A and B are shown apart, each in its own frame.
Chain A
Amino acid sequence: MEQKIRALREQMEERLRGIDSREKLSAFWQDFLGKKGSVAELMKGLGAVAKEDRPAMGKVINEFKVQAEERYRECSERMEQLEMAARNRREQVDITLPAKKRENGTLHPITIIKNEIINVFLGMGFEVFEGPEIEDDDHNFTRLNVAKDHPARDMQDTFYISEDILLRTHTSPGQIRVMDREKPPIKVLVPGRVFRSDSDATHSPMFHQMEGLVVDKGITLCDLQGMLDQFVKQIFDENVKTRLRPSYFPFTEPSVEVDVSCFECGGKGCGLCKHTGWIEVLGGGVVHQNVLRNCGIDPEVYSGFAFGIGIERITMLKYGINNMGLLFENDLRFLKQFKD
């Protein structure tokens, strides 16, 4: 009997080496562990063994059974691994085939920059106000201290709808509308589209501005520069500086033009800054006392500053766009480049 088992063991190892398919594996099971398999036969043969030898013999048979099962399981696992590997090979794809996705749309670059600017000022406690695009003379000119005979009121520059109603030429009427509604402290941005009767390579009859207004006690020209310093650092570059120089707007006094040190060359002079080291980015100034008075705010108590940013200008500077027309052509090859 023991000899028979030894032979079976050898036979079993021989069979195992030859197994390369599920069929052979189940045949192995049938032949060794099945109802009519070798183990079952050995068990049947146990009856013929002397009674006193039976327990020992049974143990030997059982050991063989356990071993066969163990070997079967090992073989089965190996089988599974092989099959899985084969399946994985079968299922392999060319990962360089084009992706399946719905391409995201993009925001217009003007919107992206507008949002960027707004975000800078939201952090400083500003709110956002949007006034009407079609305005009256009173808000667009008179209460902003633009005299009745000021050339800006000319039909050459302003689109009129009637004698008193016009397309706003700047976002500054927003100052008036805000100051009519709210009393200081005021910190507000007025983004929007504005219109001027101007159309050539560098002018569009419609463009975008962002007005900023701060009115409170003790606001000074120094605060204007301090805030704009902060703004240009966040929009352009940490190292960018501002420079104020005298200018004129009817609704601010003193009025300033604000230049930033060229972020392209660091102020050394290059094509972008026309070799001056400075780039003009916006205008501003201390809110004119007449404007405050026109809104019922006492200039003896309160003061403020205002600034106006040309969004196209900032957009073009930031993205290196040298033709403003691109911003209004809406060619998808252009628009799709701006990923926000």
Chain B
Amino acid sequence: MIAPFSWLKEYVDIDCSAKELEEKLFGCGFEVEELTELGKDVSGVVVGEVLTCEHVEGTHLFTCQVNCGDRGTKQIVTGAPNVYAGMHTPAALDGATLPGGITIKAKPLHGIPSEGMLCSGEELGLNEDLYPGAEVNGLLDLPKDTAPGTDIRPVVGLDEYIFDISVTANRPDCQSILGMAREVAAVLGRELKMPRTDYHPSDYQYPGLKVTVQAPDLCPRYLAHGVRNITPGESPRWMKRHLALCGLRSISNVVDITNYVLLEIGQPMHAFDLDMLENTEIIVRRAREGERIQTLDEKEFALTTDNLVICDGNRPVALAGIMGGLNSEITDHTRQLLFEAAKFARDSVRKTSRALGQSSDSSARFEKGISEYTTELGMARALHLIEELGCGEVTASSFDESAGAPREGKHFTARISKINDILGIEVPAEEMLRILSSLQFEVKRDGDLLEVTAPRYREDIEIGEPDLAEEIIREYGYDHVVPTFLKNAAVTGGGKTPDQLRRDKAKRVMCAQGYSEVSTLAFYAEEDLDEMRIASDAPERQVIRLLNPITEKLSIMRPLLAPSLMKIVVENIKRGNTEGRIFEMSNVYHPLGEKVLPEEILHLGLAAFGNEEDFFRMKGGVEALGEAFGLRFDVERATDVPWLHPGIAAYILCEGERIGAFGKLANEVTAELKLHKDSKTHHKIFLGEIDYPKMISHAAASFRYHPISVYPAVIRDLALTVREEVTCGEMMSEIARACRQVTDVELFDIYRGEQIGEGQKSMAFKIRFEREDQALQPEEVDKYIKKILGNLKFKLGAEIR
């Protein structure tokens, strides 16, 4: 919200500096994002009186003697054709600065000494609206009553401050100069001087003119008022300057009035050229499907029934709240017009604006919200300005279509004690009354009770006491809040749940295994699943799709973590990180139906890459994770995980249930990675993904220690020859199963060679025997060994070596 300091001063006697006002506004909830001094780039420029002016032979230059008051008389050479003796014009003296980072130096021009530069209006950063004559070709011709030597900035109105104020979404009433002036008046404790809104309609009625609102849900209030005998022309200087300070160019008196009211009152106004309407009728209705309109900026739109339009009986003449139609535009030929001041539903304006990609200062205001008070005030102000500018006759053709909203401010009873309870401090009742009155609330006090009527423009005031508490504390000052530490609250137990603690632990275990946690986006693209060779009919393809993704690349909620982790691995390799281990614990998503929230399943994904990595290192990490929760994982060869190598991949089994998979990234996937060929062979990539809830469901809720045997364990080594296809896992489980005295089996060697024979291998195991009830005798262990050997031979064809 742009507010020039001088404009605010028209409604409030401000006796503090712009900087001080900035601080006051900050304290009451309006952060000034930028406070700009209009003439901040201009320095060392004074009013100069051209005493003499001689043409330099053979050039377009003039040598001038310039009276610069206290600064003395300076010789300045200028090329401006409009210079004349007796002219008062800005003189930038040696060392002066101008907008655009220009510094003026005294230096000879064409060999003639020159002690500065005479300036045009544009060189000072002025335009025609800010200062008349600023855009003439040549020097700025200042009035003769300007005193030579005085600083140019106040002379041309560059001693101005522009506030750019951030207004919170609940205060659309402050999206105007008047709205901000109300806040300034309150915070400074000054009176608010309202702009004049009186006008004197003639008796003339436009014959047959009718206004109908057919969509009151989208247009709760519609005011229209006819004006005739328009005399198009320029706006007065003060109006042009106000518009210019807010960044608008002057167009013509009538158009300027609509813009002025928008800025000043916050009411978007529109004016229709009545002679351009095909029917003397205004209808506010939803557009028909496919109906078209060309807006003022000559863009054409096809409309739908979601769009609200203003029609002249036959065709749309305005896109309600957004922009007028080209067909009814105000021009220099306009003699009769109809002003519109309306309240359009803000979400309707927003939706239409977004859908059509068309916006304006008006639509921005409507989207934030307009009160009906503003609508009424805006219309009255516009009609007053017609009269004040003398550019037309306000007729008696006045229309007010209302959906029947109350015409008075919200009224409620509030307790002083309750307001203080909310705040936790004691604000004196007189202070409350003072603050509320300064904010234009009507308040009557009866003991603890306040009878309050909110100003009509404060549509944010909803429920009473908390609203008042907020109004009071922001004016009273947040520095009055005395921090207390839950002095009234009950003591609570708090703490994390066992499940939350287990998740923390899972992360710690992964870190201890050398895996670093990453954080990746929850969405990616279908093609990320393609890259992982996920079949089109695989369950992972049942994904949740965003209706409005930022890009197609981020359009589905991920059903798997692995694609995200793989991308992080690739990115790291590209950046020269030659090895690494990463993990993430995040949700994957599974749709359960249109109307219900989808299932969110916590997955633990892991990835390892680098020359040193292999399947068994990752297996170690996975097993360590299980062991941390007292779980024993088994593996089952996984040949059908599309993103894993069919020969170097495993399903993780926990008590027989598949809880995840891991292994080497499939060669087919590796081949397609956008990596240098060398790094593909060099950086082996391993990936895994675990369904965390499935895993943790096997973990015991509590843990009790297992007694240790007082008798020493006996360890025996066994070397066995077996066919190549027999796995280590089969051997080990067979050994472990043979007798319950076996408490651990560990493979310590595999040998293949001539002595063993083709298709055979030798495996050596360390077997640990323990008994809790008595010491193990060698003969007893021999007996177990015999049994183990017998089983191995019978079931797996293993022979002792």
Contacts and interface: CB of A to CB of B under 8 A. Distances in A.
* B is a partner of A: yes
Interface of A: 102-108, 110-111, 115, 118, 121-122, 124-128, 130, 132-136, 148-151, 154-156, 159-162, 164-165, 167, 185-187, 193, 195, 197, 199, 204-206, 214, 216-223, 225-227, 229-230, 242-248, 250, 253-256, 286, 288-290, 303, 327-333, 335-336
The residue in A185, A217, A248, A253 that gathers the most chain B C-beta atoms within 10 A of its C-beta is A253
A242 B345 CA distance: 39
Contacts of A218: 421, 487-489
Given A108-B519, A161-B544, A286-B422, A134 B557 contact: yes
A102 B514 contact: yes
Contact of A197 (B550, B572, B597): B550
B270 interface: no
A136 B597 contact: yes
A19 B463 CA distance: 106
Contacts of B511: 104-107
Given A108-B516, A127-B495, 20 more contacts: A107-B511, A107-B517, A111-B507, A118-B496, A132-B597, A135-B597, A148-B347, A151-B169, A162-B547, A185-B490, A216-B486, A216-B488, A216-B490, A227-B485, A245-B26, A246-B478, A247-B29, A253-B467, A286-B466, A303-B422
Given A161-B544, A223-B489, A289-B466, A332 B421 contact: no
Interface of B: 26-29, 168-171, 345-347, 350, 354, 367, 421-425, 462-463, 465-467, 469-470, 473-474, 478-479, 481-497, 500, 504, 507, 510-523, 544-550, 554, 557, 568, 571-572, 575, 577, 580-583, 586-587, 589, 594-595, 597-598, 600
Given A124-B494, A222-B425, A133 B522 contact: yes
Chain A interface, DSSP helix/strand/loop, else mixed: mixed
A150 to B, nearest CB: 8
A6 B555 CA distance: 106
A251 to B, nearest CB: 11
A54 to B, nearest CB: 56
B545 to A, nearest CB: 7
Contact of A223 (B487, B507, B516): B487
A288 B473 CA distance: 16
Given A156-B354, A248-B169, A134 B597 contact: yes
Contacts of B586: 193
B413 to A, nearest CB: 14
B595 to A, nearest CB: 7
A125 B425 CA distance: 25
Contact of B483 (A134, A222, A290): A222
Contacts of A217: 488-490
Contact of A332 (B521, B577, B598): B577
A78 B425 CA distance: 86
A335 B571 CA distance: 14
A254 B547 contact: no
A108 B518 contact: yes
A255 B466 CA distance: 10
A108 B518 CA distance: 6
Given A160-B548, A218-B488, A331-B571, A205 B554 contact: yes
Nearest to B482: A222
A222 B473 contact: no
Contacts of A244: 478, 481
Contact of B473 (A127, A205, A254, A330): A254
Contact of A105 (B466, B483, B513, B554): B513
B572 A133 contact: no
Contacts of B482: 222
Nearest to B504: A115
B547 A160 contact: yes
Contacts of A161: 544-547, 557, 598
B478 A159 contact: no
Nearest to A111: B517
A107 B511 CA distance: 7
Leading 5 A-B pairs by shortest Cβ distance: A220-B424, A246-B29, A222-B424, A218-B488, A149-B347
Contacts of A303: 421-422
A314 B773 CA distance: 59
Given A221-B423, A330-B520, A122 B572 contact: no
Contacts of B425: 220, 222
B623 to A, nearest CB: 14
Contacts of A125: 491-494
B307 to A, nearest CB: 16
B567 to A, nearest CB: 9
A217 B276 CA distance: 65
16 contacts: A107-B511, A107-B516, A122-B494, A125-B493, A126-B494, A136-B597, A154-B350, A162-B547, A187-B489, A187-B492, A205-B521, A217-B490, A242-B483, A286-B466, A335-B516, A335-B518
Given A227-B486, A330-B571, A106 B474 contact: no
A104 B583 CA distance: 13
Contacts of B424: 220-223
A158 to B, nearest CB: 8
Contacts of B470: 246, 253-255
A148 B369 CA distance: 13
A250 B170 CA distance: 8
Contact of A164 (B168, B517, B595): B595
A121 B581 CA distance: 32
A162 B515 CA distance: 37
Given A133-B522, A256-B478, A248 B512 contact: no
Given A122-B496, A223-B487, A327 B423 contact: no
B313 to A, nearest CB: 30
A187 B577 CA distance: 44
A254 B514 contact: no
B527 to A, nearest CB: 18
B512 A330 contact: no
Contacts of A107: 507, 511, 516-517
A323 B554 CA distance: 21
Nearest to A150: B169
B517 A335 contact: yes
A225 B483 contact: yes
B478 A105 contact: no
B500 A128 contact: yes
A219 B577 contact: no
Nearest to A159: B546
B574 to A, nearest CB: 10
Contacts of B486: 124, 214, 216, 219, 223, 226-227
A254 B28 contact: no
Given A104-B511, A108-B517, A161-B547, A245 B478 contact: yes
Contacts of A148: 347
A329 B478 CA distance: 40
Nearest to A253: B466
A131 to B, nearest CB: 10
A104 B512 contact: yes
A193 B521 CA distance: 10
Contacts of B549: 159
B519 A328 contact: yes
A116 to B, nearest CB: 13
A150 B367 CA distance: 9
Contact of A220 (B484, B520, B554): B484
Contacts of B169: 150-151, 248
Contacts of A195: 522
B465 to A, nearest CB: 8
Nearest to B499: A130
A226 B354 contact: no
Contacts of B545: 161
A197 B421 contact: no
A254 B517 contact: no
Nearest to A118: B496
Contacts of A332: 516, 572, 577, 580, 582
A187 B489 CA distance: 10
A105 B607 CA distance: 12
Nearest to B575: A331
